[in-house]
């Protein structure tokens, strides 16, 4: 049986740039993580593709998935559901491949409760004004939605203490470097390396 893969969770406040950093990380080509595509009831934004950016589903379909125990985690976020389908994550980890989640903080805490050996990375903004500018600059949300997101972000930053690592997103390329550093170190953890040696050293 293959050694189970590593689960890494990138989370942090809304608008901090999780999506941008995640995309940049995968574009380096230096990561062999499998990205878990989330499911959401939010409508696609311009340019977003079903099955690539998200699985876009109806509220009924999402709630059916919850009832059937098919979500690893889910959260209601600004009036929409977002969640991680369990099957893909489990199957991929079982194949020995590492899996990457990019999710908001409530969902991340559910993963922490269910998968204690996952690695939790908190992406943090240099400051809150910067965060507001980014949300406005993105130009995809109305002002009342932005204000709602900022209020939520303040509460979310307090949640940093529940994570293993904090990565400041001052510059995307630097944030990517920091995450790669974390991944490299995590792969060297004795608890992850030891199973490779267990057969050799026996049970004593």
Cβ proximity to ligand 5GP: between 42 and 192 the closer is: 42
* Rounded-to-integer distance, Cα 91 and Cα 172, Å: 31
* Rounded-to-integer distance, Cα 9 and Cα 200, Å: 32
By the 8 A CB rule, do 120 and 164 touch?
Answer: yes
> Of residues 24, 26, 35, 42, which one binds ligand 5GP by CB under 6 A?
42
Question: Does 73 sit near ligand 5GP (CB under 6 A)?
Answer: yes
> Of residues 25, 89, 99, 103, which one binds ligand 5GP by CB under 6 A?
103
Question: Does 38 sit near ligand 5GP (CB under 6 A)?
Answer: yes
* Rounded-to-integer distance, Cα 137 and Cα 131, Å: 10
Core vs surface per residue 27-64: b (16+ CB within 10 A) or e: eeeebebbbbebbbbeeeeeeeeeeebbbbbeeeebee
Cβ proximity to ligand 5GP: between 151 and 189 the closer is: 151
Residue 18-37 contact track with ligand 5GP, rule CB under 6 A, x = bound: x-------------------
Please provide the distance, in angstroms rounded to a whole number, between the alpha carbons at the two ends of the chain: 22
Segment contacting ligand 5GP by CB under 6 A, of 102-110, 122-130, 184-192, 196-204: 102-110
> Of residues 7, 9, 17, 77, which one binds ligand 5GP by CB under 6 A?
77
| 13 annotated ligand binder | yes
User: For ligand 5GP, how many residues bind (rule: CB under 6 A)?
Assistant: 14
Site residues for ligand 5GP, 172-191, by CB under 6 A, read: none
* Rounded-to-integer distance, Cα 73 and Cα 11, Å: 13
């Amino acid at each position: 049986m293959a050694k189970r893969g590593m689960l890494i969770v990138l989370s942090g406040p809304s608008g901090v740039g999780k999506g941008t950093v995640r995309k940049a990380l995968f574009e380096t080509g230096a990561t062999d993580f499998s990205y878990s595509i989330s499911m959401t009831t939010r409508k696609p934004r311009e340019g977003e593709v079903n099955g690539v950016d998200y699985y876009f589903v109806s509220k009924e379909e999402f709630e059916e998935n919850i009832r059937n125990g098919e979500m690893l985690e889910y959260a209601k976020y600004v009036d929409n559901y977002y969640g991680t389908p369990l099957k893909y994550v489990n199957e991929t980890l079982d194949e020995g491949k590492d899996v990457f989640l990019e999710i908001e903080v409530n969902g991340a805490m559910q993963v922490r409760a269910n998968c204690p050996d996952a690695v939790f990375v908190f992406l943090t903004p240099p400051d809150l004004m910067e965060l507001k500018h980014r949300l406005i600059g993105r130009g995809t949300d109305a002002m009342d939605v932005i204000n709602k997101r900022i209020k939520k972000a303040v509460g979310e930053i307090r949640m940093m203490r529940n994570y293993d690592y904090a990565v400041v997103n001052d510059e995307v390329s630097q944030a990517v470097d920091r995450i790669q550093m974390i991944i490299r170190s995590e792969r060297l953890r004795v608890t992850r390396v030891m199973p490779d040696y267990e057969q050799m050293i026996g049970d004593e």
